[in-house]
Structure 1
Amino acid sequence: MRDKEFACRCCNANPDNRRGFIAGAVAALVAVGSALRPSTALAAGDAIRDAAPQPGDFLTWQAKSKRGPHLTLDDLKMNARQLVALPVDPASGTVRDGSRFNQIMLTRLDTGELDEATLARSAEGVVAYSAMCTHDACPVSSWDGDTRQYVCPCHQSRFDATAGGNLVSGPAYRPLPALPLRLSGNGELVVDAPFTARVGGGR
């Protein structure tokens, strides 16, 4: 009986206390819900990171220790092993590193070695291709400078960098998707159009 009387005194005898208690409880529930629900800004940031390279994107180093500066023509040596880069959203400065399928191989070649279609997609001889093999989506990390061919170390598929990433040999199913580039007024490498084909393994 005393417990019942005590409850009545708390709830009914002092309405201000009751209203304060209810308001506090509601505020606590709202706070918990906000903490459990991702913010709109966070979700938008993830969408930018996951998105494939977009026209207008800059490029930066894949290695986190080097990220920040936009890659320029001068960052690539002629006929050197491919440099792996990631696209950068120009509006937010966010690096699109949410998917490994966003990794891009860059190689600088003599423009006279490129076929017509590859030359048109290059930025003064800098060609760009997906770094994922079209066989099993392994990273294409090897380079044969004598033949100007990319080599996948997993199953030895070879792709011609001078001819649109065409498949030369191996179990891969199709050419490497190419990424058209252009140069900005400051000599920075810029994505000019989306990948020419689906990125990843399979036919």
Structure 2
Amino acid sequence: MSFIETYTPLLLSGLWATIRICFLATLLALPLGLGVTLLLRRPGRALPALARLYVEVMRGTPILVVLFLLYYGGPSIGLVLEAEPVGILGLGLYGAGYFAEIFRAGLQSIPQGQREAARMLGIPSWRILLRIELPQMLRLVTPPVINQIIVLIKESAALSIITVAELTKIGAQIANETFAVIEPYLAVALLYWLLIELIALAGHWLERKAKHG
């Protein structure tokens, strides 16, 4: 039986795990990143300072360190999770720091005059955010958001270190079983490339739709 026939189901299971984990991590990271961005805009010093600290820590810390802190350090503070939930939580927290900066830049690029005109008309701040700022921001940030999702997919390979059975871990498992290196890792690389190409194509479609919508 050929390598493809023998190991395709196992590789596909690893690919599905990668897709599932990255999808759930993105669902966590996007709203969390937006929440951090909104805290950065709050009046006062304490909340914006905490939000800025969070962004700087996440952007300045390797994902592997975040995963180790959650997986191995979590039990010491009562946080006991299986490897896959740790992967989702770690990628989500890590990605939120980057998404927060993307959203902040998108909001800052909206002309200040639009906000001032809306305030002069007596429109509440929350309505300005929902009706004026967020729709424009979403159109502006679509390309960098897609790029960051692609980065998260590639960063998810680090989850193999904490025993998550994602694509890279499966490739390593096959290499250990077969004593081959080229075939399993070429297959892993091809599957990552296909997944990222699909994400990029979806991003281009969303970008065109946003421009013409």
- TM normalised by structure 2 equals 0.25
The structure with more radius of gyration: 1
Q: Tell me which protein shows more strand as a share of its residues.
A: 1
Indicate the structure whose relative CO is greater, using CA pairs within 8 Å and at least 6 residues apart: 2
Q: Tell me which protein shows more helix as a share of its residues.
A: 2
